[in-house]
Amino acid sequence: MNEQLQPVMDWLEAHIGGQLHIRKEEQGDTDEVKLKLEQKGIHEDHSHALDDYTGGPVLYLRGEGRVIQPNGSELPLPQDTFLIPVDELKQARIDGHSISVETERARYDITES
Q: What is the mean pLDDT of each run of 10 residues along the chain (113 residues)?
A: 84 97 95 97 71 74 95 93 90 93 95 93
pLDDT of residue 63: 97
pLDDT of residue 1: 59
What's the number of domains the chain is made of?
1
What is d(CA 22, CA 29) in angstroms, rounded to the nearest whole number?
A: 14
pLDDT of residue 52: 55
Predicted TM-score (pTM) of this structure:
0.89
pLDDT of residue 83: 92
Q: E-strand spans in the chain?
A: 19-26, 29-44, 57-68, 74-76, 81-85, 89-95, 98-103, 106-112
The closest alpha carbon to 80, from 38, 44, 22, belongs to 38
In which domain, by residue range, is 63 found?
5-112
